[in-house]
Structure 1
Amino acid sequence: MADFDRAELDEMVRRWLRANRDCEAAGDWRPLAEFYTEDATYGWNYGPKQEFMAVGRDEIRDVAIGLEMDGLDGWSYPYQDWVIDDRSGNLIGLWKQVSDRKRPDGRFYSPEGIGGSWFRYGGDYQWSWQRDFFDFGNVSALFLDMITGNALSEGMQQRITRATSGEKLPGWYPIGEAPVPLW
């Protein structure tokens, strides 16, 4: 395995965190696409039957951090910690997902459990791939709580309508049929 410069990896994380904060403030994550190589892949599992995969920077921008993040304006994803392997170029960022809407008890809507992203560094301050992980059960429970608590924004309502329309959504595949495997 190749060795990576630790200072460069630390700088990548610093740049990534700054860009994430800027995108959260703007309510648009599409500018993050510049942090991926042209041929990067970005995917995640969504329960026992589906997975998501975007292939290439354009699909990452337009679908993974575009269409899939639309409706989540006002949400934040504060990173809690990082694990950095300068030998392999693998980085794991652990984050929370926090809505700007509050529960009746005053807490922000946020799924319980751990969320994170596993990145592979591709050089030149870009990721060559990203795989997200989160607790599907807790995320599902959160959205159900938000629906029954009438806490969905209009954008979130549109996301749910799109997801439950029955039409094939870009980037979504039955388990094992994505153009690039998760692992």
Structure 2
Amino acid sequence: MTAELNKYTYEEIEAFGKKIHDVMLEARKTGQYVVANEAILDDNVVYEWALGPTLPAYVANGKDAVMRNALGAEMAGVDGWKYPWGDYWVDPEKGVLIYNWKMISPWERSDGTFYAANGYGYSFHTYAGNGRTKHKTDICESQMLQYCHAEGVAGGFANEAMREKVKMRRTRETMALENWIEHLEELREEYGYKE
């Protein structure tokens, strides 16, 4: 077990982090986030994304599914957004790279600032060797991001894909909340709880 944990050096994982950072910088210039990510994903990569308190985590298995769904369909509507890095951390024993990032829209306020999701997103990459990741988890301030999307729709800035995303999210959230309420009612009955 120890040999497996110490398989990669700090320097190798840090270099991998620089590769991810450079790939994302290039993607920001071209808008090609999906294509850019292909260079850092292992064929058998598992990608997870926490979607918020009422929705289940999103999981994609394998590079094809990640490219098509997680970075394709799920990224629809965020054309022109920027994701600048903040800090990063390397754990060579576990082979993990962690970094945080902001989510900044292209929608400008009257004071010259841009609409952005409050808080940071965090990405966890488990290194597979050869400059690729075998497991990636993204965790972000989901509600703050959703508020930002809704502001864009309300202000008339959002494109059609973003408007559809917000509409679909509201439908999914309503269904998830209804399921949660039903679950709580079942628990009340099962344990005989009465107010």
Task: Give TM class, smaller chain.
Answer: 0.7 to 0.9
Q: Which residue of 2 aligns with 1:44?
A: 49
Structure 2 length as normaliser, TM-score? Answer: 0.78
Q: Which residue of 1 aligns with 2:148?
A: 142
Are residues 1:16 and 2:20 paired? Answer: yes
Report how many aligned residue pairs link the two structures: 168
Find the residue that maps to 1:73 and give its secondary structure. Answer: coil
Find the residue that maps to 2:76 and give its secondary structure. Answer: coil
Q: Which residue of 1 aligns with 2:98?
A: 92
Q: Equivalent residues in 2 for 1:1-183 (5 A)?
A: 1=2, 2-3=5-6, 4-31=8-35, 32-50=37-55, 51-163=57-169
Q: Distance in 2 between matches of 1:5 and 1:59?
A: 30
* Structure 1 moving runs of 4+ over 6 Å: none
Q: State percent identity of aligned pairs.
A: 24
Shift of the alpha carbon at 1:20? 0.8
> Cα–Cα, structure 1 residues 26 and 161, in superposed 2: closer, same or farther, change >3 Å?
farther
CA contact (8 A) 1:111 1:138 kept: yes
User: Counterpart amino acid of 1:85?
Assistant: D
Shift of the alpha carbon at 1:24? 2.0
Find the residue that maps to 1:97 and give its secondary structure. Answer: strand
Q: Structure 2 regions of 5+ residues with no counterpart? A: 173-178, 181-195
Shift of the alpha carbon at 1:157? 2.4
CA contact (8 A) 2:41 2:134 kept: yes
Q: Distance in 2 between matches of 1:65 and 1:25?
A: 17
Shift of the alpha carbon at 1:65? 1.1
User: Counterpart amino acid of 1:9?
Assistant: I
User: Counterpart amino acid of 2:116?
Assistant: S
Shift of the alpha carbon at 1:161? 4.5
CA contact (8 A) 2:124 2:137 kept: yes
Find the residue that maps to 1:96 and give its secondary structure. Answer: strand
CA contact (8 A) 1:27 1:72 kept: no
Q: Distance in 1 between matches of 2:141 and 2:148?
A: 11
Q: Distance in 1 between matches of 2:131 and 2:165?
A: 31
Give the structure with the larger helix fraction: 2
User: Counterpart amino acid of 1:106?
Assistant: G
User: Counterpart amino acid of 2:157?
Assistant: A
Q: Distance in 1 between matches of 2:167 and 2:26?
A: 28
Q: Structure 1 regions of 5+ residues with no counterpart? A: 167-173, 176-183
